[in-house]
Amino acid sequence: MKKGILLNSQISAVVADMGHWDTLGIGDLGMPVPKGTKKIDLSVKMGTPDLITVLKTTLSELQIQRVFLASEMKTENPKQLAAITEAVGDVKIEFIPQMELQDKVANTKAFVRTGEASHYSNVILESGVTF
């Protein structure tokens, strides 16, 4: 059995396959996932699991160098922004319009759909290197 915090086999496989500059999306249950983009659906019910739990667990195994968030989050969901900022630490956050964030999902290795049900709760993580 895998020893570690991230136990979901689909997310673990994506993380293991990521190289420098690759991206992984994690978001709310309303985010449209383009056809052809791998969707890992963790949603059980509205609110479960929440974005922050999935984000922190994923970050336990994924080295990141940049995070993309919707600029609308600053005004529409500052509580979630504070939680994401705390979770990613000193990693650079780049704010882009929500529509641009949605377009970037098409180029991610996968999109992890959570049960999160708060506005603009979507992040794209850009993989870094550990050396």
Question: 46 in helix, strand or coil?
Answer: coil
Residue keyed to tokens 């609308």: 72
For the chain, how many residues are written?
A: 131
Kindly give, in sequence order, each residue whose CB lies less than 8 Å from that of residue 42, ignoring residues fewer than 6 positions away: 8, 49, 54, 112, 113, 114, 115
Tokens of 122: 């979507």
7, 20, 41, 106: the active-site residue:
20
Is 20 part of the annotated catalytic residue set? yes
Positions annotated as catalytic residues are 20
